[in-house]
Structure 1
């Protein structure tokens, strides 16, 4: 049932671009907060008397609280309007950012990051939903090009802003700076984002609890594995997470109420493959930053700002090429662009891992980092445009929620896995992962080699995961037309199981 509180989905004569620009400010802030902490981790460890494993939870808690609610927050946008849900999330995100900046212990900071992540979860699906509902299919690639460019620029602004703020004002300001930005974003969204028609939905509360519990046990087990020496308790946690997630999928398949994950959406081949690919992308983006920042600061003795400056080529190339790639997506088979991007990204990470030595010249690092930027431009908008091309308007929120959830699930697993791998590799090299001094100042010369080796070996993990994204992209089909969207709509509305079989 649709509530015709406002005009049709097309919003007739109103240009969708001002609304998109208003929304991407908030989306930009969310992405910045996903990366800005990496460069501040050493300072947080020192100031709050923490260790590597605990400080990784500052990122993992945010990503976990971000990922799990996405399945239902996209549906909330359909039910109560994407504009309303976005504004509520923005208020929560901004308030939690201030709380993060005022935290006086690592535990308080982790709790504040949970609330910040939930605010981000309310906001993110609404940006994709508005694009899907206000841009025609043949122009979504261009709109997603802007979305991809914002993602690329955020990869620069996050670490760079983090470095400048940590060096000059303290780590607290990487969060406090969100407050004025959040106020500006709220005013712009309030004025420029249209009020779209709403669609009634029921909410799958058991599904929310099953997905949340499964993800928590899985992430906790992976991230804490090294801390507890991969004991039976850790393996039990991982096993329980996998079993509960399996129960969640099973419950979704037979539930007679409106499911949290409309399985009929996966009847569209490209939607399914795009979700696999974006999971690999979320994993790699999150996992690559942590070992790089520890390497530059602990082995090379760089300041947080100087470390972040190394990412300038990556962000600039992504920001420059993403709009061009977005326009190309509307005319070119997505497998060629996205597949090339994933392959370049994997090669670049392997290249970077091979040159992360104590003696490496800076330009040796900049070349693969620049290649990562070009690869990013070929991935973000093609994946988003391919995933959403055939989504009918009434399923826009659900589809955006699933897509963003899989991206964040990848990021959560990437954060947990890279933290566990770094700790394991440091232990294998005879180093302690809990030493504050190892992160906040340059290491003595005799331990730089084993430390840099541990960081470079860790970089191979996201490189391998990206090959999964490459395989998924290779099997993309050319996006279909409105008939496919109607088929997906019919499949999700009536018989999800039949839609999956078709």
Structure 2
């Protein structure tokens, strides 16, 4: 049993940081009521975590290469536990958002090192088993997050969705100290300029989108935010072009298949997950469901995704990525459009067909996306490639939350409307955009991956060998 202690330690940390992406969804109405938060502040409660995670995961991998993966993983656990305590004790929206941002720092440190730690610990068949289990646990986190968030919010209080991380972090820290070897250290090289410019681009753009939906698209604040975001993006491209050890080698974008995977990763998060907070608000605010009932009502998507990922992984092992990734995005888009069935008099069961179809797409895309990206690049750059796909997914999620939330606010009103018709109109607008993004993204992805893009390889086979900045998502 001691042989699998490192796997348990890695899976606990990964599971914890991934459920924190979705665990807040069903608690948002209670948080808003308790802290007196605005709709835009609730968007930041979700986005602050995803943005920081997206911005820092590659940098955390670089730091781990220099000072040791075990050390960075342990530091990440401590930061995550401390910020979870701060989030649970927050007395106003600003404190909660700040704590969520620090949580993202800890999550990036953990996420950037788990696969490398497993790769260094296991060999041969055991390595394949470890990667498979890790991938399954990662895939299940989204579904468990919404249910666990509902249970804790219903039975205890919304603050316990953060407090629950503390005992898990303590156990994971103890297991990690005895399970993982310290490992070799390399030269510490961190692209500070790349991290700063990318973070500025992501934060300013997200702020501009949220502010535009809340205060108007022609306000000075909105325009300045977009201007800063654009300038930061240009600066990031320039910085990465001249850096000797860039955070993201721009030359990878010349590989069409890899570029397709990056685009697909961002679109995947927008179309599949960015509308879930709005769905939660509708179920609780309009249908009167409890947080637990809301979590259970949202289960069809992750359950179907888990089943499809397991069955599809075997049946579609040799299928080209244009089939699994591109086809999966078409399912995600179609399922999001299926949520347009929601009307003023609808109940939660109306969401089942759409959620099931989205789940099929998620099950197809999730396991294949990283493997397709890794298969498209040279082995020495596999870690950077996998980390870049993860960054695109988190950035897509953060921007998707901002875009769909702003669309909802613009159509339905800046605050939760009293008229159920207005509320549903806002939902429909958000679902329509998510659906169109998914369908168009699927078509673009199929075109980019093409017939000659190669075959999907198993995630375990695609795991990095000599590049340790890998992050693979199930």
TM-score tier after normalising by the smaller chain length:
0.7 to 0.9
- State the alpha-carbon separation in 2 of the partners of residues 289 and 169 from structure 1: 23
- CA deviation map 1:439-466 (0-9, x unaligned): xxxx6xxx22221221122112222222
Say if 2:424 is the partner of 1:452.
Answer: yes
Counterparts in 2 of 1:325-336, with a 5 A limit?
325-328=312-315, 330-336=317-323
- State the alpha-carbon separation in 2 of the partners of residues 137 and 295 from structure 1: 48
- State the alpha-carbon separation in 1 of the partners of residues 381 and 142 from structure 2: 30
* 1:325–1:378 CA contact under 8 A, matched in 2: yes
- CA deviation map 1:252-298 (0-9, x unaligned): 1123x311212344454433322211111222344121221121112
Aligned residues: 455
Aligned to 2:155: 168
- State the alpha-carbon separation in 1 of the partners of residues 382 and 62 from structure 2: 9
* 1:128–1:400 CA contact under 8 A, matched in 2: no
118-127 or 146-155: bigger deviation: 146-155
Aligned to 2:258: 271
Deviation at 1:340, TM superposition (A): 2.0
- State the alpha-carbon separation in 2 of the partners of residues 130 and 410 from structure 1: 27
Counterparts in 2 of 1:388-427, with a 5 A limit?
388-389=374-375, 395-427=381-413
* 2:79–2:102 CA contact under 8 A, matched in 1: yes
Say if 2:239 is the partner of 1:251.
Answer: yes
- State the alpha-carbon separation in 2 of the partners of residues 187 and 218 from structure 1: 39
- CA deviation map 1:95-129 (0-9, x unaligned): 11111001111111111111101111111122344
Instruction: List runs of 5+ in structure 1 lacking aligned partners.
Output: 1-13, 428-432, 491-502
- State the alpha-carbon separation in 2 of the partners of residues 396 and 191 from structure 1: 29
Aligned to 1:430: none
Aligned to 2:95: 108
118-127 or 230-239: bigger deviation: 230-239
Cα gap change, 1:332 to 1:201, in 2 (>3 Å): farther
Cα gap change, 1:71 to 1:406, in 2 (>3 Å): same
- State the alpha-carbon separation in 2 of the partners of residues 451 and 302 from structure 1: 16
* 1:20–1:127 CA contact under 8 A, matched in 2: no
- State the alpha-carbon separation in 1 of the partners of residues 172 and 371 from structure 2: 24
* 1:132–1:396 CA contact under 8 A, matched in 2: no
- State the alpha-carbon separation in 2 of the partners of residues 189 and 474 from structure 1: 44
Which residue, 329, 334, 355 being the options, matches 1:369? 355
Deviation at 1:81, TM superposition (A): 2.7
Aligned to 2:471: none
Aligned to 2:470: none
- State the alpha-carbon separation in 2 of the partners of residues 249 and 143 from structure 1: 37
* 2:26–2:149 CA contact under 8 A, matched in 1: yes
SS at match of 1:227: helix
Say if 2:341 is the partner of 1:355.
Answer: yes
- State the alpha-carbon separation in 2 of the partners of residues 46 and 63 from structure 1: 23
- State the alpha-carbon separation in 1 of the partners of residues 118 and 311 from structure 2: 18
- State the alpha-carbon separation in 1 of the partners of residues 177 and 403 from structure 2: 39
Cα gap change, 1:148 to 1:370, in 2 (>3 Å): farther
Cα gap change, 1:70 to 1:373, in 2 (>3 Å): same
Counterparts in 2 of 1:73-222, with a 5 A limit?
73-130=60-117, 146-222=133-209
- CA deviation map 1:330-363 (0-9, x unaligned): 43322212222111111011001x2212322443
- State the alpha-carbon separation in 1 of the partners of residues 303 and 295 from structure 2: 13
Which residue, 204, 227, 230 being the options, matches 1:242? 230
Q: TM-score, normalised by structure 1?
A: 0.82
214-223 or 324-333: bigger deviation: 324-333
Say if 2:9 is the partner of 1:50.
Answer: no
Deviation at 1:190, TM superposition (A): 3.1
Say if 2:406 is the partner of 1:462.
Answer: no
Aligned to 1:7: none
CA-atom RMSD, angstroms?
Answer: 2.9
